[in-house]
């Protein structure tokens, strides 16, 4: 049969081990939350990069269309000038 002092020591050891496990669990939860935050920020940044790329592509296409319209207007002016000179 165990003495009362031995029971108390074993109980304290178990409680200490349980406290260590709780501490590790809380630390792991904090790490998980930090990683989730980084993942969310990374996802948002990736989404913003995609949106910015789409906007830039759209502006680029619109600039190219405007240049083509300018070239067409120039050709029309040249045609009109040529016809007027006849």
DSSP class of residue 2? -
Decide if 12 is inside a domain: no
> What is the pLDDT tens value at each position of the chain, 86 positions in all?
778 998 999 999 999 999 899 899 999 999 999 999 999 998 888 999 999 999 999 989 999 999 999 999 999 999 988 888 87
Indicate the number of domains in the chain: 1
Tokens of 20: 């260590």
Tokens of 29: 């939860």
Decide if 40 is inside a domain: no
Decide if 82 is inside a domain: yes
Which domain does 75 fall in, by range? 58-86
Decide if 4 is inside a domain: no
State the residue for tokens 């830039």: 56
pLDDT of residue 25: 92
Q: For the whole model, what pTM was predicted?
A: 0.52
Residues found in the chain: 86
């Amino acid at each position: 049969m165990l003495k009362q002092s031995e029971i108390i020591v074993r109980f304290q050891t178990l409680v200490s081990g349980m406290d260590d496990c709780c501490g590790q669990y809380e630390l792991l939860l904090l790490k998980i939350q930090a990683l989730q935050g980084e993942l969310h920020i990374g996802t948002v940044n990736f989404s913003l990069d995609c949106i910015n790329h789409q906007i830039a592509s759209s502006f680029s296409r619109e600039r190219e269309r405007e240049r083509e319209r300018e070239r067409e207007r120039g050709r029309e002016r040249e045609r009109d000038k040529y016809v007027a000179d006849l």
